[in-house]
Structure formats: structure tokens, C-alpha cells
Amino acid sequence: MNPRTPFRSHKASRKVSHEATYKVSHEASHRASPEVSHNASSEVSHEVPRKASRKISRRISRKVSAVGAVAAAGVVATVLVGAGVLGGASATAAPSSTHSAAASATAAPSSTHSAAASTASAASSPANVGKGLTRTTTHLTLDAATKAAQAALKAAEKAGQRVSVTVVDRNGSTLVALRGDGAGPQAYESATRKAFTAVSWNAPTSELVKRLDQAPTLKDIPGTLFLAGGAPVRDGDAPIAGIGVAGAPSGTLDEQFAQAGAHALDG
């Protein structure tokens, strides 16, 4: 065997491979006319390489040795893969319109977001109540409540009694609570409930006790205590606070000290 034969076979194979590549590319380019529609182009890109590969394979088998045939087959495979890539490129390009549509859909909520922001801004703005929808009430100041509580506690100390004093506002909320030295633990709650009862009915609790004969269930109202020792504080005829005292030996004394606190606010 001639030692140069493999070199010649290799040279021939390269020549045939180059020729095959050129012919396949030329035929594919000739067939894939720019005037063909998108669907026809896709079919040609798949059909032409198959026809061309069969024709070239017959030529290769007649002209080259076994080594050349293998090389040519590699070229044909390369061409087929290339055709597949081209077809894939066409398919890949298709979603571009979908991407644009998605971008438009994403941008669409911007107007909704702006409308929501406007609504939130309007909701956060302060509301002004119309004329005639409010009323003005009078409440005892903290300084006045403190003055009344101290006056009641001082009157009890002067009488030698150890008591607790509570002053509540018109709504029954505690403004001031003073526990005198030595006052019993029960005195604080009792004084608060007496003050609440006095302001709720705008009457001293000693008088309210008498109402239990006609309405005994009054004592069941939460937060009330129908025992003497509570006195209302009025502005004109309207109650604006209540003073309750508890801890003395009798309700009469408790109410006497409560009245002393109320009179400390006389004008």
C-alpha cells in the first residue's frame, strides 16, 4: 500500500466536504426565496437539507474512499444541524410579539395604580364636620378637680377621719383620686362608685338611696353605689363632675366631706 494514500484520501475528503457544504448552502439559499411566506420558509428550511443530503450522499459514495465518505457524512450532519438551528431561530423569534403584548399588559395597571393613589390621598385628607352636627359640653378642668378633692380630704382630716376621695368628669371617667393616710383598701373603689352615681343622676347619693324603694333594680347598674357619700358638681343645672368620699364611720360624714369639696368650687 502506498504510504501517501491516506494523505491523498484526507485531501480528497476535505475537497469533497468543501464542495458539499457549498452546494448545500447554494441550493438552500436558492430555494429559500425572500418572497416565500413565513410558513413556507419554515417548510423549505426543513425539506431542502433532506433532499440535498440524499443527492450529495450519492455523489460522495461514487467519488471518495471510505475516509472521504465519513468526512462527507460529517459535513451533511453539520448541514442538517444548521438547518435545525435556523428553524429553531424562526420559532424563537415568534414570541417577540407575545413579549411586547406582555409588556403592554404590565404597563396597563399603571393607570389603575394612579387612580388608587388618588383615592388613598382623598381618604387621608381630614374631614370637616358640617354645621349643626356638633354640640359643646362643659367639663371640669384638672386644676378644679384637684382643688375639690383636696378640699374634701382636708375637711375629713380636720374631722379626724381617714378617707379616700375621687373626682370624676361628666362621662364618669376619673380625673383625680386621693387616698388619705390610713384609709382602708375598700375606700378607693367605694369613693369612685359614689362619685359615678352622683354625676349620673345629678343628685347626692343620700337622696338616690330613697329611690330604691320605687326602683330597687337601680342598684344593679354596673359601677353604681347607692350609699351616702357622693355629691354632684353643677354648672347651672347641668352636672359636670361628681365627688365621692368613702372611709368615714357613716355615709353622712362621707357626704359632708364631699359637699365641702364641691363648695370649694363655688364662684
| 80 and 191 co-located in one domain | no
Widest Cα–Cα separation across the chain: 144
| Residue 137 maps to a domain | no
Instruction: Read off the pLDDT of residues 158-170 as tens digits, 9 standing for 90 and up.
Output: 999 999 999 999 9
Q: Considering the domain boundaries, does residue 235 fall inside one?
A: yes
Spatial neighbors of 28 by CB under 8 A, at least 6 apart, are 44, 45, 48, 49, 52, 83
For the domain that residue 174 is a member of, what is the CATH number?
3.30.450.150
**Which residue range is the domain that position 59 belongs to?**
7-95
- The residue out of 59, 79, 95 marking a domain boundary is 95
Strands (E), 84-173: 164-169
Q: In this structure, is residue 115 part of a structural domain?
A: no
- Is the pLDDT reported for residue 205 higher than 90? yes
- Confidence class of residue 256 from pLDDT cuts 50, 70 and 90? very high
Model confidence at 137, in pLDDT bands (50, 70, 90)?
Answer: confident
Integer Cα distance of 30 and 259 in angstroms: 117
- What is the per-residue pLDDT across 22-58, written as a single tens digit (0 to 9) for each? 454 445 444 444 443 444 444 444 444 555 556 655 6
Q: Where are the beta strands (DSSP E) in 87-237?
A: 164-169, 174-179, 230-235
Contact 229, 244 (CB under 8 A): yes
Same domain, 149 and 88: no
Question: Which pLDDT score is estimated for 195?
Answer: 98
Report the candidate in 232, 234, 255 with the shortest Cα–Cα distance to residue 242. 232
Tell me if 195 sits within 8 A of 205, measured CB to CB. no
Residue 227 lies in a domain: yes
Shared domain check, 182 and 87: no
Residues 66 and 128: their CA atoms lie apart, in Å, by: 98
- The rounded distance, in Å, linking the Cα atoms of 77 and 122 is 69
Of 73-82, 126-135, 153-162, the range with the lowest mean pLDDT is 73-82
Same domain? For 147 and 258 the reply is yes
pLDDT tens per residue across span 61-87: 555 444 444 444 454 444 444 444 444
Domain-ending residue, one of 68, 95, 122: 95
pLDDT at 125 over 50: yes
Per-residue pLDDT tens for 173-195? 999 999 999 999 999 999 999 99
pLDDT band at 267 (very low <50, low <70, confident <90, very high): confident
Claim to verify: residue 64 and residue 153 sit in the same structural domain = no
**pTM for this model (two decimals):** 0.55
Mean pLDDT computed over every residue of the chain: 74
pLDDT computed for residue 135 by the predictor: 87
Question: Which residue type does 34 have?
Answer: P
If one counts the domains in the chain, the total is 2
Average pLDDT over residues 136-155: 95
- Alpha-carbon distance of 163 to 253, in angstroms, equals 10
The yes-or-no verdict on residue 122 having pLDDT over 90 is no
